[in-house]
Amino acid sequence: MERILYLNKDFSALSEDGRLVEYIPFRSEDETGRILQGRVDRMMPGLEAAFVDIGRRRDGFLPQKENSPSFTDGPIRSGDRVLVQIRKEETGNKGAFLSRDLSIPGSLLILMPKNRHIGVSARVTDSESRERLFRLGQKLSAGENGIVMREASLHAKQESLEEELDRLKKQWEDIRNGNLPAVSAEEELIRDYAPRGISEIKRDAELSADLMRQLKESENRLVRLPHGGNIVIDRCEAMTVIDVNSASDSGDANRRQSVLRTNLEACREIMIQVRLRNLSGILILDLIDMEEESDRNAVRQALEEAFRADRMKTVIHGYTSLGLMEMTRKRSRATWQEQR
Question: What's the confidence (pLDDT) of residue 175?
Answer: 92
Contact at 8 Å (CB) between 323 and 289? yes
Angle at Cα 270 formed by Cα 107 and Cα 316, nearest 5°? 65
Beta bridge partners, 148, equal 110, 119
- Least confident span in 192-201, 208-217, 331-340: 331-340
Question: Above 90 in pLDDT, residue 333?
Answer: no
Domain ranges within the chain, ordered by starting residue: 35-99, 218-329
pLDDT per residue as tens digits for the range 150-171: 999 999 999 999 999 999 999 9
User: What confidence category does residue 263 fall into, taking pLDDT thresholds of 50, 70 and 90?
Assistant: very high
CA–CA dist 304, 122 (Å, integer): 12
User: What confidence category does residue 247 fall into, taking pLDDT thresholds of 50, 70 and 90?
Assistant: low
pLDDT per residue as tens digits for the range 15-40: 999 999 999 887 655 678 889 999 99
Strands 11-16 and 3-7 come out as antiparallel
pLDDT per residue as tens digits for the range 109-129: 999 999 999 999 988 989 999
- Burial class from Cβ neighbours inside 10 Å (0-12, 13-18, 19+) for residue 176 reads exposed
Question: What's the confidence (pLDDT) of residue 80?
Answer: 94
Question: What's the confidence (pLDDT) of residue 306?
Answer: 95
CA–CA dist 148, 155 (Å, integer): 15
Any idea what DSSP says for residue 91? B
Q: What is the distance of C-alpha 247 from the center of its chain?
A: 32
* pLDDT average, residue stretch 237-264: 83
Which numeric CATH code is attached to 35-99? Answer: 2.40.50.140
Task: Please enumerate in sequence order all residues whose Cβ is within 8 A of that of 291, keeping only pairs 6 or more positions apart, or say none.
Answer: 256
Task: Please enumerate in sequence order all residues whose Cβ is within 8 A of that of 333, keeping only pairs 6 or more positions apart, or say none.
Answer: 24, 30, 32, 89, 185, 278, 339
For the chain, give the mean pLDDT.
90
Question: What's the confidence (pLDDT) of residue 8?
Answer: 87
Contact at 8 Å (CB) between 58 and 209? no
* pLDDT average, residue stretch 263-268: 96
